[in-house]
Structure 1
Amino acid sequence: MDGTIFRRIENTIEDLKWSNLKTFPRHIRKLSGLLGSDGVKEIAEDLAVLVDLEAWIEEGESTQGGFVGSAELHWPIDPREELGMTIRLVHWLADDPERALGFSHTFFNSGSRKIDADLQAMVAQVLVPFGRDFIDYVKERTGVSEVTKLPERPLSTARKVFVVHGHDDGAKEKMARFLSDIGFEPIILHEQASGGRTVIEKIEANSDVGFAVVLMTPDDLGGPVSGERQPRARQNVILELGYFIGLLGRSRVAAFTRGGVEVPSDFGGVVYIPLDGAGAWKQALGKELKEAGLNVDWNVIMG
């Protein structure tokens, strides 16, 4: 079995959580492919043969009442059959991703006018718990105990937070001071020795951190050739955002925005927090640090 399969399944489901009608087909087909990969395929097939997807969907559709969203799916009681039903559903949607629109609208109608909301509700209620339960099931069957979350970093590293910034020195200093106040060591690139290295080499040399904060302030303007220019973060900020997402994972990166700055459309799952003057961003950052497994002093944050 490929030692990275669990992490790849988790990452793909995370991508699906933030997908829309344009990106859903790519991610659902990827998940279907992962369920058919070596070491997982046989287990998935053994579960899938236990259920009849078409009959299950028809039964659910028969419960439709007089208003949209009243239809209910009757999930199997047997945990193995529930896993098998979801596996069949994933392959069914991957074969024709357009089915997802009608399926999610029928059974997971959110009441929102945004079509993507139904799709994301389906992913949250079906695929997210499936990923967790399926991984546990495969581990139990195979004895594989791969850690699917980011490994613990040394304490000295975990307390370091890389601060990515543009030209807004006030935002940079405010963030660095707050991180110091709650017991973290802010790492700011221009304060580190160059040693004859390029910028990217300096980033790599100082990337032994447990978390990254990205300050997306409106330092540049940009937009399509035929459209209006919008405030944007500097290019180096976007580059470093992507770098730390790849290095640390999205759960250990928080981006802060100011002044209506345009945010990248291809970094789904990244938390964007308004850098407000009232200081609510401090509590939001504390929550993100805590969820990343880092200890925070809430007395200081709330003080």
Structure 2
Amino acid sequence: MTKFLGSAAEFRQAIDALGLRGAWEDFAQGLRYRTTDGGTVQWYASTKTVQIQGNRAAAEKLRTATAAMHARPTPAVPASVPPQSRNQIFVVHGHDHPAREQLELILHKLGLEPFVLANTSGGGLTIIEALEARIGQGGQHACGIVLLTPDDLGYAQAEGAEALRPRARQNVVLEMGMLMAAVGRRHTIILKKGNLEVPSDAGGLLYLSFQHHVKEVATRLADRLRDAGFDIDARRIISAAS
């Protein structure tokens, strides 16, 4: 006996990929496949146990064919990353907590679930590590929102202090780039508060600009989310914009 730690669908796919001749049968406790040469392989859903039976030649052939498959474990999900919702959206933000809370409220009104690291235990993750875990390889988030707020001040040295302008925090700009690289520009929505200097290399991006409250762009935000594949009821949009 050995174990296959994947799901039922993954077990069926793995057996089918071996190219054996046979057929699947109904089996109350899991899955069963009978080969034409008299072998049987059964997978028990509750224990993940695989049992091979049949005549000696057929059973040995099955053991040899499935040996590599058994050695392939299901990738483990880090304990610090909770299960993700299909309606969950990763939120990148700076130090403007009222603006972040406004965005969270609007997303909730739209029937979506914002993931904000500051609102979770975080599992010891930094925001960069959370991005890698939840958006990067193996992550499931299909969309992210970047909230650019005037948290810092800066100017180009060549222009002098007279060119001083509000800027988003540098880590937010970095995380915006990571998000775009992971999910693409179409699934990265950027909100910009006030007369904010935007990164020079990101001048061609579409920003949703507001002055005082995120609800100023709630309708346009909902349109962008719909474009990204989210199903949002029109009544929720009216509620979010009010």
Q: TM-score, normalised by structure 2?
A: 0.57
CA distance in 2, matches of 1:169, 1:251: 26
CA distance in 2, matches of 1:265, 1:201: 26
* Match of residue 286, structure 1, among 217, 222, 227: 222
Structure with a larger share of its residues in strand: 2
Which residue of 1 is the match for residue 209 of structure 2? 274
* Contact 2:152 2:169 (C-alpha < 8 Å) held by counterparts: yes
Structure with a larger share of its residues in helix: 1
Q: Helix, strand or coil: the match of 2:201?
A: coil
After the TM superposition, which segments of 4 or more aligned residues of structure 1 sit over 6 Å from their partners? none
CA distance in 2, matches of 1:191, 1:252: 23
* Match of residue 88, structure 2, among 143, 160, 163: 160
* Match of residue 107, structure 2, among 179, 183, 186: 179
Amino acid at match of 2:188: V
CA distance in 2, matches of 1:196, 1:161: 20
Q: Helix, strand or coil: the match of 1:243?
A: helix
CA distance in 1, matches of 2:125, 2:92: 18
**1:157 Cα deviation (Å)?**
4.2
RMSD: 1.8
How many residue pairs get matched? 148
Unaligned 5+ segments in structure 2 are: 1-83
CA distance in 2, matches of 1:219, 1:166: 7
* Match of residue 168, structure 2, among 214, 230, 233: 233
CA distance in 1, matches of 2:93, 2:126: 17
CA distance in 2, matches of 1:286, 1:187: 17
Q: Select the structure of larger CA radius of gyration.
A: 2
**1:290 Cα deviation (Å)?**
0.8
Which residue of 1 is the match for residue 178 of structure 2? 243
CA distance in 2, matches of 1:161, 1:269: 23
1:22-80 C-alpha deviation (Å, 9 max, x unpaired): xxxxxxxxxxxxxxxxxxxxxxxxxxxxxxxxxxxxxxxxxxxxxxxxxxxxxxxxxxx
* Contact 1:223 1:229 (C-alpha < 8 Å) held by counterparts: yes
CA distance in 2, matches of 1:195, 1:182: 28
* Contact 2:111 2:236 (C-alpha < 8 Å) held by counterparts: no
**1:215 Cα deviation (Å)?**
0.8
Matches within 5 A, 1:50-129: none
Which residue of 1 is the match for residue 122 of structure 2? 194
Give the 3 Å change call, closer, same or farther, for CA 269–287 of structure 1 in structure 2: farther
* Match of residue 265, structure 1, among 200, 203, 213: 200
Sequence identity (%): 38
* Contact 2:194 2:211 (C-alpha < 8 Å) held by counterparts: no
Give the 3 Å change call, closer, same or farther, for CA 186–198 of structure 1 in structure 2: closer
Q: TM-score, normalised by structure 1?
A: 0.46
1:164-185 C-alpha deviation (Å, 9 max, x unpaired): 1111111000000110111111
